[in-house]
Structure 1
Amino acid sequence: MSSPSKRFLLVVLTPVIVLGSMQSALAADDTYGWQWPLALSRDDGGAYRVVVNAELYEHTTRADLGDLDVRNAAGQTVPTAVLGPEAPLAAIAQRVELPLFELPPNYRSHHSWSISHETHSRGQIRRVDSEHSYFSSGPSVGVLLDASRVLEPIRALEMQWPDAQPGEPSALDFAVTVETSSDLVEWRTVLERGQLVDLQNDGERVLQNRLELRGASRYLRVLPRDPANSVRFVRASAVLEPARAEAVWEWKTLTGVSQAADGHTTVTYESPGRYPVARADLVLASNSATEWRLESRDSESQPWRNRAGPWIGFQVRGDVETRSAAQNLASPSRDRLWRLVSTAPTRDLPQLKLGYRPELVVFLAQDEGPFTLVAGSTTTTRTEAPLDRLVATLRAHHGAHWAPLPAYLGAVEELGGEQAIRRPADETSPAWTTWLLWIVLAGGSALVAGLAVYMLRQPQA
């Protein structure tokens, strides 16, 4: 083939190849609509749990939450499962080990020590340094604990120290003070005096290593009251407030549109998210007593299904307001469309409150972070991971009370946006990139065919 022909072929095929690659990359980026960066309470926790909040439910498309998933830094999905709040695996870890830093002598002087921390990552401390070497001589005078990555209330601290070596005293009994701060500048005392004890005799041991706290902030200092009678701390764990026996119910209040027909009144509502609705309640503007039936469906093409009732929704205001109780649904539902149907015509326009208990996303921190939670897709489904067997193995290694550590959602970031959750049946026209790709492909094919005909007509050398 001559050089002009080669150049002509290159000009024809290059835009086709480039646009094809662009289309593939765009399709990959648009698989999910949104993502949330995840902040881990510890980097080495192994498995983590994230509470599914209202924002996640409102950005999820699939009724089974199959488009909720977790990806690592390489964009690969990691083993992930969505669990109900009553699942044993959904329980939060009751202890989180905290980063520990020994405080140098004269640490109270601002000229003798410094702290290096990263403000873009929840302000966790990286190191505690002395600015002058002569200030750092001598034993540690306490420890600084970084709890900035733990958002749950801290109930207590559990301190650990090395086992006594031969020739060292095996009896420890000393007092400490615990201070807390939110900015590493202003400190306040949360435990004036806490006693730590470690006594051993004839194979018996008395150990008291727990410090009860109230009102702890992001950073903590554990300071011996008598530095001469102390011990070097090697590990500290935050004991979190125990979970409530019954999870807190979340409520979404909807305002509906009323329509009277056939001797009854219908009020229709649209839910903005895939909440696992298990209860319903009514909010009435004035004194009222009407019998209602609650129904739902997921789309206009489906029939209505009865969810609760009929029951009398009432409100009577007086010295003591009396109102009807919330109703339990026959079974939880994630339907988008809801309606109240009265047994007789009424002018009441109640607001509908949908109650649910937030679920949990549990994932294994596989490979390198940072990790992100993605949601909103009509083309991708999460592969359920056998996390129950994995956790059983971890509990056999760490103890029966081991549980996934908490992780927290950051601010939402848009990926494919609304385009990723648009149903194929709802799309009236393909995206402009699809049209452009087909036009270029058709044009390129025609030009290549013309080139082939041109070459066939050329006399052979």
Structure 2
Amino acid sequence: MNLLAIIRPLVIAVAVVSAATASAAEKPKDFAFGIPLTVDADSAFYRAALPAVFYAGSARADQGDLRVFNGDDAVVPYARLDSPPATREKKATAALPIFPLRVDEQSGELSGLSLSITQSAGKTFVNLTTKDGQPVPAQRLAGYLLDASDTREPISAIVLAWAPKSGGMNTRVRVEASDDLNQWRTLVGDAPLLDLEYDGRRLLRDRVEFRPLPTKYLRISWPAAQAPLQLSAARAEFGDRVLETPHQWTEALGAAVADKEDEYQFDLGGALPVDRIAIELPELNSVVPAQLLARTVPEEPWRPVTSLVSYRLRQDGGEVSPPPLDVAPAGYRYWLLRVDPKSGGLGRGQPRMRAGWVPREIVFAARGTGPFLIAYGNVAAASSALPITTLVPGYSSGAEPLAAIAVAHMGAAAPLGDIEQAKPRREYRRATLWAVLILGVVVLAWMAWQLSRQLNASSPSLKAEAENDRPT
């Protein structure tokens, strides 16, 4: 048997099929759908946000079947961008009205006294009394009241100003907060304040930081044995405000699951990168604890996502419901609401889901001539996305590098090739390759078995020859 004659055709067949599968140039007609792109500037790179219709038509859960073609129907390289980070905005400071708090010489700290505010003829007056309502003689400066009632943001620090003193200043203060002037909570128990000058240099510490919190009033005080602090002004600093990336919202009506009481399934129409979920209940005055599950395709088991308590209550002539719930970003198309049976169910009607998501962006190289095209919808197409740092030299994550990349505008999605290409059962090329590879394994196993038989058959004759050659 000529083994080479058997192996050679097999190797050639496998190589031809593999090469044809791997190196066949992809064309727009190989994909079910396409979105045209228009560009305004003359730039090397462009970016585009993927719309909901893309997720609905993509044939892969990871959207790896995306391609970008130029006007010559040639593939151009592209990269995916991660979800944009939330930006933080530094809010300006605000001046706070200050009111000195004076006590008699024999009084201790301010904690044993009552505070009240009155307004008359456009002026504000702060009154200090004992717990039984007796006025306190204003003989010694014991602290200050800062009025923050007009602020709407959480305060994270206060900046104090005072008149310079000969010899400098080194003192410590207590900072407290209250919303009613009766109950006070300590924010900083022993905050240092410094104002020292030496050899033409000044060391100044006039800022007191604390955990950001909304409050109406702040109180500054110090021990009775300590020299009073002569403040001239105070300003409030606010914590950075997080500016959320704008979300798009997709709604889906729940459908009762057959043979499953208190379970409702939602189909978002595509594997959207959802990170916000809101459940709208069908009936007023409902409170429903439930579990939320999700999956990518109907064949997969349900995966727990989170637990929640949804409600829809009548209040003050209107309705109140919980804010959208944050969930870990994931590309699930199908969602399941499993209601706790102890809550009595949802009542009449079906629930509705509102899913919030941030459109993902791609960046592509404008190689060749336009117009450019995003193609998608081919279950056999493996991902060809490059890392963004590979595609764009010197790229670093952040808002500024992204803003420097020109924006490509999207047109309406339209069919390109056979829509059946987006369905798993039409994986002809992959099935053919696997069939050839499996056939190769079978043939190699048969060849090994035949070779083993030949070796075993020749063993007796070889043994006899060895016996004949042995010297007597």
TM-score norm. by structure 2 comes to 0.47
TM-score norm. by structure 1 comes to 0.48
